Chain A
Amino acid sequence: MSESIIFYVLALFLIGGASGMITARRTIFSAASFMLAMIALAGMFALLNQSFLFLAQLLVAVGAIITLSMLVIVSVNISERYIPKEPHLGRDLLLGVVIAAPIVALIITALRTHFAASFAPIPDTFGTLASIGATLFASWVLPFELISLLLLAALIGAVVISRKGERS
């Protein structure tokens, strides 16, 4: 019962944050709402017994990414006049909802018909750091290495792209 309450509270934050992010006119408000949603998402992971994911989400998504975004927003120093006016925001959002609704509906239909209505029983160690680590290095070594390559490429790419802009 308490889990349900937690779930609905978190869900409220999550959806509220997401909606706030796409509707806020000021960038900084969007970013703040987004951070709220991300934190709520970490909570969702905890609810799902994914303790390691919960940590990773907090550390990487919230800690690193959001901070980075904030940093960029501030460092580029975007003042009000650079922010797009978006005079028809309401209309555009409505359009977006109209387009997105069938897609969402389709996905939901698919999920509803293909997944069990209950959780499977799990051992206590499920989702812990040790367990995830064992799985990761037992059968996911190659993807893991590939992801590290991707990160490296992204790192270099990010530097190159931002330097290039500087020169011109």
Chain B
Amino acid sequence: MDTVLSWIIFMPLLGMALGGVLRASLNLLRLLAFGSSLLVLALALALAWHFDADAGMQFVMIAPWIKSYGVTYYVGVDAFSLILVLIIALLMPLLYLYMYREARHGYWYLMMALQTGVMGAALSLDLMLFYLFWETMLLPVFIMIGRYGSNNHPFYAMKLLVMTVFGSMAMLLSILYMGYGFYAEHGFWSFALSDLAQDSHGALVAAGFLLAFAIKIPLPLFHTWMAGSYGSAPTPAVVIMSSVMAKLGAYGLWRFGFSLFEGSLHHFEPYLIALALFGLLFFALHAVMERDLRRMFAYSSGSHLSLIALGIMIQNHYGLSGALYLIATHALASAGIFLMIGLIFARVRTLEIAQLGGIAQSAPKFAFFFAFFALCIAGVPGTGGFVAELLIIIGAFEYGLATGVLAATTILAAILFIFWMLQRVLFGPQSRQTEGFVDLGAREVAMLAPLVLLLLLSGIAPNLFTPLFEPSLALMLGGRP
């Protein structure tokens, strides 16, 4: 049972290696990708089943790695990483379903590498290991944008790389500094989170981490890589970026922010909250006049991630549980919407909103699913998005009246653009491009239906899911004054 996390992390890498060694044909490669992702899904479900919500870190595995510097292979799962693990495990088979017809071998390899990267980042508890995975997950995306993207993709691939690597370099410096500090104090090296958490660290060290996460999330002012990268990346990469990698940024803020920088985080708290509140509206406003569908939802994603960051930063029970819930539901909803945008692009070869329209006339199923995901992003009750927003708003009001009022504008933020977008994409007369728009096929429905069902379930009966993380939250918040 100890090794289950390692299996979850490295199963795709194994598939990838196997494919490389066997010089796999496309069919075999597909089989390997599906097989590894389904196995991971099964393992992740088993993990959730055996998971003890009342305990803290579980399924821990520690093995020495670089002994002379105390770097260990140290993985473990708690309620918060479990959510990410489940999301990744669920999304990957769906993504493979989406790219079923993809004939470029490299694409499949990169996706498998990507899965290992994001899983590892979600599960590692050693800072060096975390940094390794953190960078590992960036590279496949960079290559995918660079090789398989569209719309000036080399430029945006570079911009993504330069900006995010800049952030992670700052983080690496902080990690090294902390590791050295630990050595100086205790006489031996360690980069394990639990060890480093014993010491207190200064604001500048925290700033390194915050910079990395702020860029990855992204918070406003650190966001200019976002729209371009989303707009030019191939669909599976976009889904991973918005549903997983951005969430990992928020997760990092949580995981490392709270355990390492308890004290100095308070220092930044007002600024981060102000930034998140600003981002909430700023990105929504940004989305209003965006002409490209994918870029529009990139900004929409940004707006929600600011909300998640807000939920985390206000640090009370409602805010945190809302943020977690939003991480999960927004991951599902944005995966759905970006997949569907990919389908639009595959059908009409354009994402310019002005050239779309009237899709609902010839493709009612498509319209239903698209509208469903859009409404979920807008936080309509009955979908999980509403529950999350409600919790964050409650938390924000508990934090302060002004924060609460501004946070509640999230109710308004999404409708600024979502409904106008729906009107121009789904409704109205058909354009030249969307004439005879093909409705969803069985494979595509199978790909989207799990997302829809989960979102509905999470909106109708959220109490099915909250017990998973609620006890850990109570534990975590109970321990502080």
- Decide if A and B touch, CB cutoff 8 A: no
Which residues from chain A sit less than 8 Å from chain B, CB to CB?
A: none
Which residues from chain B sit less than 8 Å from chain A, CB to CB?
A: none
